[in-house]
Amino acid sequence: MSTSIDLKEFRGAYLAEVGEHLSLSNAKMLEIEDSLKRGQASFRAIRELFRLLHTIKGLSAMVGVDTIVTLAHRMEAILRRADQRTMELSLDAVEPLFHGLRAIQEVVVALSKGRPIDPPSNVLIARLEAVEAHGKPASESPGGERVLDLEPALDAKLARFEREQLINADREGRRVVRIDFVPSPKKAELGFTINSVRERLGSIAEIVKVVPVAVPATEDAPGGLCFVLMLVTLAEDSELAAAVGGPEVQVRPLVHAPPPPAPDPAFSEIPGGSVDDDDLHARNVLRVDVQRVDEAMERLAALIVSRSRLTRVLDDVAQVDGALGRELKSIVEESGRQLRDLRASILRIRTVRFAEILARLPLVVRGLRRSSGKDVTLATDAGDAELDKSVAERLFPALIHLVRNAIDHGIELPDERERSGKPRQGTLTVSATVLANREISVQVSDDGAGVDREAVARQLGGVVPEADDGLLNALCRAGLSTRRVATTGSGRGMGMDIVKKIVVDQLGGTLSLANHPGKGAIFTLRVPLTVAIVDAFVVRLKEDKFVVPVVSVEDIVEVIPGAAVRGATPYGLVALMAWRGTSVPLVELATLFGMTPVADSTAVRHGVIVRRGSERVGFVLDRVLSQQEAVIRPLVDPLVQVPGISGSTDLGDGKSTLVLDLSALAHALLTHGRYGEPN
Amino acid sequence: MPNALIVDDSKVMRDMIIACLRPLAGLSPTEATSGLDAIEQLSLQRFDLLVLDLNMPDIGGLEVIEFVRAQDKLRELPILVVTTRDDQNSRTRILSAGASQYLTKPFTPAEILSAVQGLLPDGKATG
C-alpha cells in the first residue's frame, strides 16, 4: 500500500477557506470591540472568534503553515482565558488581536502570491503574550423573575450566555420559542434535514441553541432522535412551522414570566456556541477556483468565435440558396441566443455580492478612525447588487481611496464639527445600485466639509473651474496626489488619479462629483458589471477593421462632406461639426494612425462621438459596419501597450482585430492637443 | 463495504481526510458539515466509523460523542477524534467522553490511515 498524498496540494482551497474565516474573524473583532466600548458582554462573539481561530490553526497545521499556527495559538490563548474565567476581554487586548489577524492575513497574501513566509514578528508575539485578560467580572445574570420552561436535562445544556440571551430577548419583547424537529428519511427526501432547517430558520430567527435528544424510535421518529431548537424571533408560528416542514410542527413559548428562582448551572466549559448566521451563508455554496470559471469562459469564447465564422459563411450560402440559407440562418440565430444565455450563466458564476466587498470596509474605517482622530460612522447599503468578481476586485482599491479621502480630508475633527453645528460624529455612506444598462453605480458620500476648491487651486497653482466636473478633473491630476499633505485644508487630491485610472481607464466607467461646500461631497462611480465580453461596433477604416466597445460610444453620426466647419480650436484640430446644439471637434482616425485619409472627399462617412468628462470628440472613419459581441483579450504585455489600443479580438475571420479605446485617444487629444505627444 | 462518516465544518479538512483514506479501497466516506448534521445522519443510517472534529459551530465534537455513547445502537461505533488540542487535559476528556482514538492535527496521511484501519472491524477494508 502506498500513499503519495501531499496535503500541500490543498493549499489553494486552504487559502480560500482561511480567507473567509479571517473576514469573519475581523467582523467578530469589530463586534467585540463595539460591545466593550458600550460596556456590554460579548461572550458569543468571543467564542465564535475562538472557534474561527482554532479552525485556522488546525488547517494551517495540516498544510504546514507554522507562522499562522503560532499566531492563531497565541490569540486563542487570550480568548480562552477571557472565556473560561467568564470575564470580559480588556480593551487593551483589542489592538494586539487586530494586529494578529492582520499578520495572519499577510501570510495568506504572501502564500497566494508565492512569496516566502517570515516567522511571526517577535514584537507581535510578545505583545500578544503580554496581553492580560484582566477585566471586569461578567455582568450578573439578569435572570431574575423569568424562567425557562425546559426539562432539566435540556436546561443543563444551556451555557450561561445562552440563557441570558433567551431571557433578555423575552424581556425586550421578542418571541422566545422552542421547536422540536424529528428527522426522518422521508423528511430528508423532501429537503428537511437539520442543516436545511437551520438554514431556513436562520433567515427568520436567531437560533440560540440546538440540542439533540434521544426519543423512543417510532414510525414517525425512525431514528430515535429529536432536535430541540431554541429560537428568538419576530416571525409568526406558521412561518416557523413551514421552515421546519409543515403545519403539524409545534411552536412552544420557552420563557415563563414568574417564580421559582432559576437554578444556576455551572458555566459550560466546552465551547458549544450556537449557530452563526454567517456560517449559514456558507452552506450550499460551492467554492470554485476562478481559474476554472475562466477556463469555461475561454471555451465559450472559442464557441462564439466559431459562431461568428458560421454567420459569415452563411451570408455567402444564403446568397446561393434562399430557402436553405434562411433555415440555416434561423438555426444560427437561435444558437446565438443560446450562447448569450450560456454566457450569462457563466458570468453569474463569477459574480459576487457587492455587500461582501463592502463588508471589508468597516475594518478600513476603523484604522482610519484611529489614525485621523476623527469620529466616523460607516453606513453601507449594497442591496442585492452583484457584479463580476474581477470588476469587484479592481474596483475595491478605488473605493478604499475614496473612503480614505472622505475621512482624512472630508470629515472634520469632532470639535470643528461641533463649532459648525454638526453632530460630533461624521457619517460616511457607501451605497450601490445596479442600473438598467448593466452598470453598477457606487456612491461614496460624507457629511464633512466638502472639497476645498481654493485649496485645490493653491496646490495646483492655477484656477479651478466652478463646475463640479472641472473640480473633479483638477483633483484627478496626477501632480496633486504626490503632495501628501494630510491636513484638513489640503483638498481631496490624494490618490484621485488612481481612482480615475481604475474607474475610467481600466473599467471603462465614469466618475463624478457633487460637491457641497460645508456640507459634504458625493463621489459617484459607474462601471459595467462585467468586462470580459462586450458589445462592440465593428468599424472599417481603409482596408482594416477595428472594434469599438459600444459602451464608450455616445453617438454615431454621418459626416457629410462640406458640412463640417473648418477652423482652429484650442486642440489644434481642424474641423467642427454641429451636434445636439454644440459643436464637436472632428478627428480623422486615419491621420492619427499615420494613414492617409480616404481620397474620395465626396463620400458620406461615419463619425463616432466619444465623451470624455464633459467634452466630446468625434472620430471620423469610413464606416460603422455592424454591432456584435466581441471577446476582448486585453493587451497585457507592457512592451506592446499603445495608448488607444486596449486589446484584440477575433471577429470570426481568424484574424486578430484591434480594439480601439477611443476614450483614451480622446483624452490624449484633449490633454496634449495631439495624439502621441509625450506627457 | 464499511461506511465512514467524516465530520468537520471545514470543507478543506474533510477533503484532506477523504484523500488520506483513499488507499482504503473498501471504505465509502460520507460527509457531515456540523455536529448536528452528524447526529442526524447517524440516527438515520448505519455507519462503521466516525471521524470527528471537535471544534464546530453548532455543537462541539465532545457533545456529539456524549450523545452517541448514550445511544444503545451506537455504543460500539468506533470514533476517531481529529483535533488541534493536544494537552493532557483535553486528551483525558476526549477519551473519557468515549472516543476510541485520538489524533492530533497535524497528522500525516499514513497516521490517519493506520488509525482508521485499526478501528475498522477485521477484514472490512483492505488497503
What is the distance between the alpha carbons of residues A602 and B58, in angstroms, rounded to a whole number? 79
CA torsion angle for A274, A280, A284, A285 (degrees, to 10)?
-130
Across the interface, whether the CB atoms of B40 and A287 are under 8 A apart is answered: no
The share of chain A scoring above pLDDT 90, in percent, equals: 14
Q: How confident is the model at residue A570 (pLDDT cuts 50, 70, 90)?
A: low
Across the interface, whether the CB atoms of A184 and B22 are under 8 A apart is answered: no
Distances (CA, A) of B57 to A73, A75, B78: 19, 19, 23
The helices-and-strands tally (H runs, E runs) of chain B is 5, 5
Mean pLDDT calculated for residue range A325-351: 84
Residues from chain B contacting residue A270 (CB–CB below 8 Å): 60, 62-63
Across the interface, whether the CB atoms of B36 and A273 are under 8 A apart is answered: no
Across the interface, whether the CB atoms of A183 and B40 are under 8 A apart is answered: yes
Q: What is the pLDDT of residue B16?
A: 93
* Residue B93: pLDDT over 60: yes
Best-predicted range by mean pLDDT among A286-300, A359-373, A422-436? A422-436
Residue B109 distance to chain A (closest CA, Å): 7
Q: What is the pLDDT of residue A139?
A: 38
Nearest to B40 among A58, A194, A274 (CB): A194
Q: What is the pLDDT of residue A569?
A: 58
Q: How confident is the model at residue A332 (pLDDT cuts 50, 70, 90)?
A: confident
Mean pLDDT calculated for residue range A342-362: 85
* Residue A563: pLDDT over 90: no
User: CA nearest A66 in B: which residue?
Assistant: B106
What is the distance between the alpha carbons of residues A650 and A399, in angstroms, rounded to a whole number? 34
Across the interface, whether the CB atoms of B84 and A57 are under 8 A apart is answered: yes
Return the closest-CA partner of residue B79 out of B38, B111, B20, B110.
B38
Helix axes A94-112, A66-84, angle to 10 degrees: 150
Q: What is the pLDDT of residue B101?
A: 92
CB-based contact A62:B13 (threshold 8 Å): yes
Return the closest-CA partner of residue A128 out of A51, A75, A82, A57.
A75
Q: What is the pLDDT of residue B110?
A: 92
Chain A contact for B25 (CB, 8 A cutoff):
no
Q: Which of A265-268's residues contact partners 24+ apart within 8 Å by CB, and which partners?
A: A265/A155, A265/A156, A265/A158, A265/A160, A267/A86, A267/A159, A267/A160, A268/A157, A268/A158, A268/A159, A268/A160
Rg (CA), chain B: 13
Q: How many Cβ atoms are within 10 Å of A204's Cβ, its own excluded?
A: 15
The number of C-beta contacts closer than 8 angstroms across A and B is: 122
Across the interface, whether the CB atoms of A225 and B58 are under 8 A apart is answered: no
Mean pLDDT calculated for residue range A470-478: 81
DSSP secondary structure string for all residues of A335-348: HHHHHHHHHHHHHH
Best-predicted range by mean pLDDT among A56-60, A502-506, B88-92? A56-60
Chain B contact for A64 (CB, 8 A cutoff):
yes
Q: What is the pLDDT of residue A93?
A: 84
Q: Apex CA A65: angle with CA A60 and CA A69, to 5°? A: 60
CA contacts within 13 A on the Cβ side of A406 = 31
Residues from chain A contacting residue B52 (CB–CB below 8 Å): none
A2, A4, A6, A7, best to mutate vs chain B, most B CBs in 10 Å: A7
The share of chain A scoring above pLDDT 70, in percent, equals: 82
**Residue position matching grid coordinates 440558396:** A321
CA contacts within 13 A on the Cβ side of A93 = 24
Of A113-127, A417-431, B10-24, minimum mean pLDDT range: A113-127
Q: Report ipTM (2 d.p.).
A: 0.79
Pairing relationship of beta strands A376-381 and A205-214 according to DSSP bridges: unpaired
* Residue B50: pLDDT over 90: yes
What is the distance between the alpha carbons of residues A431 and A426, in angstroms, rounded to a whole number? 16
The pLDDT tens digits for B70-91 are: 888 888 899 999 988 878 888 8
**Which cell is A660 given?**
480601439
* Residue B47: pLDDT over 90: yes
Chain A contact for B15 (CB, 8 A cutoff):
yes
**Which cell is A360 given?**
471589508
Q: What is the pTM of this model?
A: 0.53
Q: Is the four-CA dihedral A628, A610, A453, A498 of positive or negative sign? A: positive
* Residue A212: pLDDT over 80: yes
The pLDDT tens digits for A296-309 are: 877 887 787 778 77
Q: Which letter does DSSP use for residue A7 in this model?
A: G
Specify the amino acid at residue B114.
Answer: S
Q: How confident is the model at residue A4 (pLDDT cuts 50, 70, 90)?
A: low
Q: What is the pLDDT of residue A479?
A: 56
Across the interface, whether the CB atoms of B13 and A62 are under 8 A apart is answered: yes
The pLDDT tens digits for A631-659 are: 676 665 556 667 788 787 777 676 778 98
Across the interface, whether the CB atoms of B33 and A283 are under 8 A apart is answered: yes
A24, A194, A275, best to mutate vs chain B, most B CBs in 10 Å: A194
Q: What is the pLDDT of residue A141?
A: 40
Across the interface, whether the CB atoms of B39 and A17 are under 8 A apart is answered: no
Chain A contact for B17 (CB, 8 A cutoff):
no
Specify the amino acid at residue A268.
Answer: S
Q: What is the pLDDT of residue A650?
A: 72
Of A30-34, A412-416, A573-577, minimum mean pLDDT range: A573-577
What is the distance between the alpha carbons of residues A534 and A540, in angstroms, rounded to a whole number? 18
Q: What is the pLDDT of residue A277?
A: 38
**Which cell is A461 given?**
497653482
Mean pLDDT calculated for residue range A458-482: 75
Q: What is the pLDDT of residue A521?
A: 93
Q: How many Cβ atoms are within 10 Å of B93's Cβ, its own excluded?
A: 17
Residue A54 distance to chain B (closest CA, Å): 7
Burial label, B25 (beta-carbon count in 10 A; 0-12, 13-18, 19+): exposed
Q: How many Cβ atoms are within 10 Å of A663's Cβ, its own excluded?
A: 24
Q: What is the pLDDT of residue A133?
A: 45
**Which cell is A226 given?**
429529536
Nearest to A54 among B23, B44, B55 (CB): B55
Across the interface, whether the CB atoms of A225 and B43 are under 8 A apart is answered: yes
* Residue B6: pLDDT over 90: yes
Q: How confident is the model at residue A268 (pLDDT cuts 50, 70, 90)?
A: very low
Question: Dihedrals φ, ψ of A662, to 5°?
Answer: -65, -25
* Residue A475: pLDDT over 60: yes
Q: What is the mean pLDDT of chain A?
A: 79
E-state strands within A91-142: none
Nearest to A183 among B43, B53, B59 (CB): B43
DSSP secondary structure string for all residues of A640-652: G-BTTEEEEEE-S
What is the distance between the alpha carbons of residues A590 and A606, in angstroms, rounded to a whole number? 13
Strand order, beta sheet including A605-612: A553-559, A605-612, A615-621, A582-588, A575-579, A565-566
Q: Apex CA A23: angle with CA A22 and CA A29, to 5°? A: 85
Chain A contact for B18 (CB, 8 A cutoff):
no
Of A1-15, A257-271, A654-668, minimum mean pLDDT range: A257-271
Mean pLDDT calculated for residue range A30-56: 85
* Residue A17: pLDDT over 50: yes
